[in-house]
Amino acid sequence: MSTPRGWKGWATRTTVVTVVIGVLVPVHVRATAEARLPEGSADHYAGSQIAKHEGTDRSSTAVPRVSTDGAVQGIDVSSHQGEVDWAAHWDEGNRFAYVKASEGTGYLNPWFDSQYTGAYAVGMIRGAYHFALPDRSDGATQAHYFIDNGGGWSADGQTLPGVLDIEYNPYGDTCYGMAGSAMVDWILSFSDTYAARTGRWPVIYTSTHWWAQCTGNLGDFSSTNPLWVARYSDSVGELPYAWEFYTIWQYTSTPLDQNVFNGSYDRLVALSTGVPKVRG
C-alpha cells in the first residue's frame, strides 16, 4: 500500500514539494455549485460529528478548563456564524482563523467570501477547510473542488494551507462504507492532488478515535501533513497514529469553535509562508 509522499514535516524542512507551480492558485475565486447536498442535509462544521459521537469530557462547556495562556489563539467558522464580527474576535486575542469553503462536491458556504476576506481585513492569518464526504467522489475530485472554490494557498504570509476535515459520516456509516486501506488511499489522493496544485500539503483535521477506527492506523501522514486535532477536554490526549505533535488543537466548541496553535506566532507565520522553522 502506498504511503504519503513529500517533505519531512512542516516543522523540519524549508522546501515543500517538488512540483512546478508557475502560477499560484487563487484563494477566493469560487464557482457556483450546480449540485447540492441530499435533501434534509445540513452544513456540517468542523467537529460537528466528533462532538456528536465523542461528546465532551467537561461537565460544563461554558468556560473551557484548558489552560491556553500565552498561546496563539484562533477560531474556525462556517455558514452557522453568518456575518462575523472579526474586529471583536481580534480584540479577544484571536490571531488566526479557518473558514469552511466546501463539502463534498455539492455544497459551498454562501458566507465564505465575506468571512474569508473579513478575517484578512483585521490582520488574521486565515485559511479554508473542506468537509470530506469520501463515499460521494474520489479524493482528487474533492481536492479540485475545494481548490477551485476558495481552498487554495498563496505565499502572502496571511494564508494558511487548506484543511481536509475528515470525521464521522453525518449521513450514514461511520467510515463511509470504506475499509481502512481504502480510506487511507482516499486521503492520500486528496492530499497529493492538493500538493500538486498548490505546492503545500493540506492540514488534516480529525479526531484520534475516528482516525483509528476508519483508517485502521494503516497510513502514516505525519511526515507530510500538519495535524489539526479535535478533542474537547482539558488536555489534547493521545494523538492520531504516527503524529508526534499537533499543529492546531480544537479544544472547545463553546461559544464557537476555538483553537490553539502549538507554537509561537512566528511559527504560525512560517506555516503560512511555507518556510517553517525547526522546532526548538
Residues involved in catalysis: 76, 165, 167
Cα 75 to Cα 25, 93, 175, distances in angstroms:
24, 10, 27
Three-class SS state of 125: strand
At CB < 8 A and 24+ separation, what contacts does 196-199 make?
A: 196/17, 196/19, 197/21, 197/25, 197/143, 197/144, 197/147, 197/152, 198/21, 198/24, 198/25, 198/147, 198/152, 198/153, 198/161, 198/162, 199/16, 199/17, 199/19, 199/21, 199/24, 199/153, 199/274
Amino acid at 242: A
Nearest residue to 74 (alpha-carbon basis) of 277, 241, 221, 267: 267
Rounded to whole angstroms, the Cα distance separating 131 from 142 reads: 9
